[in-house]
Amino acid sequence: MAVPKKRTSVSKKRIRKNIWKNKAYFAALKAFSLAKSLSTGNSKSFFVRQSNNETSIK
């Protein structure tokens, strides 16, 4: 079984952790931005079928 020979430095560990956190942050930001544009109806890249409630009420 492969075992690392030397201990990973604290700074290298922090750098890797921050890269991982930044990826998650930007993915969440993108998802939130898409959700905002969908809720306001300003989305140009994502299409949502609108339910037609007015015809079913009549």
pLDDT of residue 57: 52
**What does the alpha-carbon distance between residue 30 and residue 24 come to, in Å, rounded to a whole number?**
10
pLDDT value, residue 58: 47
pLDDT for 43: 72
Give me the residues of the chain with pLDDT under 70, please: 46-58
Sorted by sequence, the CB contacts under 8 Å of residue 48 that are 6+ apart come out as 38
pTM for the model: 0.54
Q: What's the pLDDT score for residue 55?
A: 54
